[in-house]
Amino acid sequence: MTSNNSHFVAPVDETPLLATDAVKTDHAPLSLWSDAWRKLRRRPLFIISALLILALVVVALFPGLFSSVPPNDACELGNSEGGPTAGHPFGFTFQGCDIYSRVIHGTQASLSVGILSVLCVLIIGVTFGAVAGYYGGWVDSVLARLGDIFFALPLVLGALVITQLPFFRENKSVWTVVFVISLLAWPQMARITRGAVIEVRNADFVTAAQALGVSKFRALLRHVLPNALAPIIVLATLELGVFIVAEATLSFLGIGLPQSIMSWGNDIAGAQASIRTHPQIMLYPAAALSITVLSFIMLGDAVRDALDPKSRQR
């Protein structure tokens, strides 16, 4: 009986650490994303921006709820550049259309152009950029040079040519604008992603992950990309606004959305006619645009924080 007593380590069942060390086997391990989501839910920045974006989406889907004035069919030149009156809180455009109603009804097209273009650019740009930066070598060369080809394409030339092609000319819509913008803007995103991925791919945790037997592709998805997201999110949120404004520039050049589709861009371009006499006409669509960009920038900030434990605000 004594031989057993030479063993002086405390019995296992007395260890208080047991509770903390235990793994709840009935729960899946918290992934990067679900971890981020748990953090996000509690952030005021995220809640505010999410509510703002929700409001924008509601306005975009149901403009009729917010404005009873028909936006495009009651433009009286007699009201040109008129100030606010009862029922027309923002006044009238150069053509005598109700500004408030146009801003409300323009939300749909503008939001669609912004979000869809950013999504397209993200899908193409991040895929190409990540693969090029991560694998390097000839893959990088081919993809990066492909980007260069589109980069060297002057925007106005590309936009002019594409919109003048018979198919696009007959079917001008939000999609044609999205197509033009995405086609010409993805190399920028690819370039930034590639840079960020190159920066991360040699980090210790990536090497560690690969040493632990994580496949190369899985390491890219699980470890490299999430840590390269910061510049991608910054670019994407800013580009959302820039793309909505780009639609204005295209309209300004006569190759944007048709007149029958209302958009903030169309309105900003149209307000150019009044800029010397009534600059406030441009203010309303520009303000709507700013609020949209602001909400997405805040959302981007919150998401990035949640994904990156290092940069959490103290």
Binding mask 287-306 for other proteins (x = CB under 8 A): x-xx--xx--x------x--
Q: Which of residues 235-274 bind other proteins (CB under 8 A)?
A: 235, 238, 241-242, 245, 248-249, 252-255, 258-260, 268-270, 272-274
CA-to-CA distance for 210 and 204, rounded, in angstroms? Answer: 10
**Cross-strand bridge partners of residue 98:** 92
CA neighbor of 271 nearest in space, from 255, 290, 297, 251: 251
Nearer to other proteins, 41 or 169 (CB): 169
- Contact stretch for other proteins (CB under 8 A) within 24-32, 120-128, 194-202, 214-222: 194-202
Minimum separation from the CB atom of position 153 to other proteins (A): 6
CA-to-CA distance for 110 and 169, rounded, in angstroms? Answer: 20
Minimum separation from the CB atom of position 9 to other proteins (A): 36
Nearer to other proteins, 35 or 308 (CB): 308
**Residue 225 is a binding residue for other proteins (CB under 8 A):** no
Nearer to other proteins, 29 or 137 (CB): 137
Question: CB atoms < 10 A from the CB of 165, how many?
Answer: 10
Nearer to other proteins, 12 or 48 (CB): 48
Minimum separation from the CB atom of position 60 to other proteins (A): 18
Rg (CA), the chain: 27
Nearer to other proteins, 23 or 152 (CB): 152
The set of residues, in sequence order, having a beta carbon less than 8 Å from that of 167 and lying 6+ positions away, is: none
Q: Which of residues 108-137 bind other proteins (CB under 8 A)?
A: 136-137
The set of residues, in sequence order, having a beta carbon less than 8 Å from that of 284 and lying 6+ positions away, is: 90, 99, 100, 103, 267
Binding mask 133-172 for other proteins (x = CB under 8 A): ---xx---x--xxx-xx-xxxxxxxx-xx-xxxx------
206 near 140, Cβ under 8 Å?
no
Q: Looking up tokens 């404005």, which residue turns up?
A: 67
- Contact stretch for other proteins (CB under 8 A) within 7-15, 30-38, 103-111, 186-194: 186-194
Q: Which of residues 19-78 bind other proteins (CB under 8 A)?
A: 73-78
CB-based burial label for 35 (10 Å; 0-12, 13-18, 19+): middle
- Contact stretch for other proteins (CB under 8 A) within 2-10, 12-20, 101-109, 275-283: 275-283
Nearer to other proteins, 91 or 270 (CB): 270
Minimum separation from the CB atom of position 72 to other proteins (A): 8
Site residue total, other proteins (CB under 8 A): 84
Minimum separation from the CB atom of position 10 to other proteins (A): 36
